[in-house]
């Protein structure tokens, strides 16, 4: 196990009706003028937004609203939020929604605390020093942005989707009421669950040894997601199922599972270009891309993939490590298929002829490779995308 510092300061307020505490949380953090940021329709349709605004009104907290965040959030709305925030002297941002709304809020927070163009941070021209604080009322168990140090934004003119990772990006609080996820369509529920699993596996597939404790946390959480997801797909109002997914999402990307080990993240980088280019749900893109990546790298550390197959999918240990490792990857794909996720390029609208563009975008702003388990150069990235395209012919 490698040395590490773990500091995840997001306060979790978990359970039924917890969104009612929102004004109290903001007051406690010194917020006096709140930008309430939300998505396209769900928070309005469910009545959640009205309830939140009433709570702020009742507490005498001035607020201004900005809706319209699209999945795979765009820079144009971030610029709008920064301009609005400046005009209204905003000192706190409340995200009501999922990863896209939270990421858009984080980017607005950075922009409000910076005189230049917020994209400078994404294009690595500048390093953020400060932000306006962000808190969230989460409505989907998925990206983990509610306690992560990341914010992913797509630049519209280039369709480049870029992630930023800085500790100041961790939200100050996350209100986690599983009931708020009852209205999610099955596809979004499943897509979110795949993202949770991918956040764990990006950390789990590692050459670092001596990490049994976090290995077991990873394996146990993947098993939990695989047992709870089918339950909530069958009964969307299964409170405990939703609750377990929600807490798993919040922890799976705040790095508790990743401490002390080298992490990979190549699948995420490839997927970000898929969702940037085709506007596919992030988790759905991962359901295609992560197994494609695995099939191209598993021979680098057969023992690690065999452990995954045995401990997560209950495969029998075998001398034939190659077959065992591949069986684990195939089980993962079968699970994705069983919960209605796409498992081929075609199903997410991706095209083989775009592979050179996808490779170019994935490598933009890197030193020529992505990932660390097996550093992927242009040739290896091409192979991963081609494997995903070959899934079309199964």
> Where does this chain bind ligand NZQ (CB under 6 A)?
39-43, 71-72, 97-101, 103, 139-140, 142-145, 148, 150-152, 180-181, 183-184, 188, 192, 195, 253, 268, 272, 275, 282
Using an 8 Å Cβ cutoff, are 100 and 72 in contact?
yes
Residue 337: partners with Cβ closer than 8 Å, 6 or more residues away: 343
Interface with Zn ion: number of residues (CB under 5 A): 1
Report the nearest approach of Zn ion to the CB of residue 203 (Å): 12
195 binds Zn ion, rule: CB under 5 A = yes
Q: How many CB atoms lie within 10 A of CB 178?
A: 23
Comparing CB distances to ligand NZQ, the nearer of 100 and 206 is 100
Q: Considering beta carbons, is residue 72 or 177 the nearer one to Zn ion? A: 72
Question: Helices 239-252 and 186-204: crossing angle, nearest 10°?
Answer: 40
Nearer to ligand NZQ, 163 or 378 (CB): 163
Residues 139-178, mask of contacts with Zn ion (x by CB under 5 A): ----------------------------------------
Cβ at position 67, least distance to ligand NZQ in Å: 8
How many CA atoms lie less than 13 Å away from 188 in the CB half-sphere?
A: 16
Contact residues for 227 (Cβ-Cβ < 8 A; gap 6+): none
CB of 147 to ligand NZQ, least distance (A): 9
Q: Which does 71 bind (CB under 5 to 8 A by kind): Zn ion, ligand NZQ, none?
A: ligand NZQ
* Distance (Å, whole) CA 118 – CA 318: 52
| Residue 52: contacted member of Zn ion, ligand NZQ, none (CB under 5 to 8 Å, by partner type) | none
The separation between CA 190 and the C-alpha centre of its own chain, rounded to angstroms, equals 13
Would the CA dihedral through 346, 201, 101, 47 be positive or negative? positive
Q: How far is the CB of 152 from Zn ion (least distance, A)?
A: 8
Options 187-195, 234-242, 330-338, 378-386: segment touching Zn ion (CB under 5 A):
187-195
The answer for residues whose C-beta is within 8 angstroms of residue 26's C-beta and 6 or more apart is 34, 56, 61, 92, 94, 135
Q: Catalog residues that contact Zn ion under the rule CB under 5 A.
A: 195
């Amino acid at each position: 196990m490698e040395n590490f510092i773990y500091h995840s300061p997001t306060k979790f307020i978990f359970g039924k009706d917890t969104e009612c505490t929102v004004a109290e949380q903001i007051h406690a953090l010194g917020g006096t003028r709140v930008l309430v940021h939300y998505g396209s329709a769900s928070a309005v349709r469910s009545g959640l937004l009205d309830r939140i605004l009433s709570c702020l009104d009742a507490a005498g907290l001035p607020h201004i609203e900005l809706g319209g965040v699209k999945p795979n959030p765009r820079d144009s709305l971030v610029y709008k939020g920064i301009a609005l925030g400046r005009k209204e002297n905003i000192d706190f941002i409340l995200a009501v929604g999922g990863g896209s709304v939270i990421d858009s809020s984080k980017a607005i927070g950075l922009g409000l605390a910076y005189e230049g163009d917020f994209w400078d941070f994404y294009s690595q021209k500048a390093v953020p020093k400060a932000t306006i604080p962000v808190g969230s009322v989460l409505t989907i168990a998925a990206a983990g942005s509610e306690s992560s140090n990341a914010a992913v934004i797509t630049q519209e003119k280039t369709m480049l989707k870029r992630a930023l990772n800085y500790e100041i990006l961790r939200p100050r609080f996350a209100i986690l009421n599983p009931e708020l996820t009852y209205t999610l369509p099955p596809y979004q529920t499943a897509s979110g669950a795949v993202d949770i699993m991918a956040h764990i596996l990006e950390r789990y597939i590692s050459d670092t040894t001596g990490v049994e404790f976090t290995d077991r946390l990873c394996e146990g959480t993947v098993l939990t997601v695989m047992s709870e997801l089918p339950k909530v797909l069958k009964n969307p109002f299964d409170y405990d199922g939703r609750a377990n997914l929600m807490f798993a999402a919040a922890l799976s990307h705040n790095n508790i599972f990743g401490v002390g080990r080298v992490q990979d993240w190549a699948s995420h980088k490839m997927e970000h270009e898929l969702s940037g280019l085709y506007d596919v749900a992030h988790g759905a893109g991962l359901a295609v891309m992560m197994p494609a990546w695995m099939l191209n790298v598993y021979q680098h550390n057969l023992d690690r993939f065999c452990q995954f197959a045995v401990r997560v999918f209950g495969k029998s240990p075998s001398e034939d490590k190659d077959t065992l490792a591949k069986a684990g990857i195939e089980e993962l794909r079968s699970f994705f298929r069983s919960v209605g996720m796409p498992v081929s390029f075609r199903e997410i609208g991706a095209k083989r002829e775009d592979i050179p563009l996808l490779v170019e975008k994935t490598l933009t702003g890197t030193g020529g490779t992505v990932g660390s388990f097996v550093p992927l150069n242009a040739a290896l990235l091409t192979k991963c995308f081609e494997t995903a395209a070959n899934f079309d012919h199964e």
